Amino acid sequence: MKRSILALTSLLVFGQAVAQDVVTLGASVQETGALANTGRYYRDGYNFAVEKINAKGGVKVAGKSYQLALKILDNQSDSNLSVRQYVQLLNQDKVNFLLGPFASNFALADSSVAEKFQVPMIQGGGASDQIFNRGYKYIFGTLPVASRYFESTVAMMKTLNPQPKTVAILFADDAFDVSVAKGTENWVSQAGMKLVANERYSTNASDFSTLISKLRSSNPDAVLVAGHETEVLNFIRQAKSLNFSPKMYSFTVGVPTEDFRHALGEDGNYAFGMTSWTASPKNKDDYFGDAKTFAKAYKAKFGYDPDYHAASAVADVEAFAKAIEGANTLDPKQVREAITRLNFPSLYGPIAFNATGQISLPQTVIQVQHNAVVDIYGQQIINKPMYPMPAWDKR
- Find the CATH number of the domain harbouring 370: 3.40.50.2300
- Is 128 a member of any domain? yes
Q: Are residues 311 and 184 in the same domain?
A: no
Same domain? For 105 and 168 the reply is no
pLDDT for 4 equals 39
Kindly report the pTM of this predicted structure: 0.89
285 plus 228 within the same structural domain? no
Do 297 and 173 fall into the same domain? no
| Domain identity same for 226 and 154 | yes
Beta strands in the chain (DSSP E): 22-29, 59-61, 64-74, 97-99, 121-123, 139-141, 166-172, 194-201, 222-226, 248-251, 272-275, 284-285, 289-290, 344-346, 349-351, 364-369, 372-377
Q: Do 194 and 263 fall within a single domain?
A: yes
- Let me know whether 235 and 376 are in one domain: yes
Question: DSSP of 311-376, one letter per residue?
Answer: HHHHHHHHHHHHHHHHHTS--HHHHHHHHHT--EEETTEEE---TTSB---PPEEEEEETTEEEEE
Asked, for residue 358, whether it belongs to a domain, the answer is: no
Q: Are residues 193 and 315 in the same domain?
A: no
Q: Are residues 269 and 367 in the same domain?
A: yes
Q: Are residues 103 and 226 in the same domain?
A: no
Measured distance CA(376)–CA(366) in Å, rounded: 5
Give Rg (Cα) of the chain: 22
Considering the domain architecture, whether residues 218 and 70 belong to the same structural domain is answered as no
Among 316, 308, 349, which residue's Cα sits nearest to residue 72?
316
**pLDDT tens string for the chain (395 positions)?**
434 333 433 333 333 334 459 999 999 999 999 999 999 999 999 999 999 999 999 999 999 999 999 999 999 999 999 999 999 999 999 999 999 999 999 999 999 999 999 999 999 999 999 999 999 999 999 999 999 999 999 999 999 999 999 999 999 999 999 999 999 999 999 999 999 999 999 988 999 999 999 999 999 999 999 999 999 999 999 999 999 999 999 999 999 998 999 999 999 999 999 999 999 999 999 999 999 999 999 999 999 999 999 999 999 999 999 999 999 999 999 999 999 999 999 999 999 999 999 998 889 999 999 999 999 999 789 999 999 999 999 99
pLDDT at position 20? 53
109, part of any domain: yes
What is the C-alpha separation between 243 and 264, in angstroms, rounded? Answer: 16
| pLDDT score recorded for residue 379 | 79
380 CB-contact burial (10 Å; exposed 0-12 / middle 13-18 / buried 19+): exposed
Any domain includes 356: no
Amino acid at 150: F
Number of structural domains found in the chain: 2
208 within some domain: yes
Would 91 be classed as within a structural domain? yes
Same-domain pairing of 67 and 92: yes
Task: Look at residue 10 and tell me if it is in a domain.
Answer: yes
Residue 302 structural domain: 2-144+279-351
pLDDT at position 345 is 96
* Residue 90: strand, helix, or coil: helix
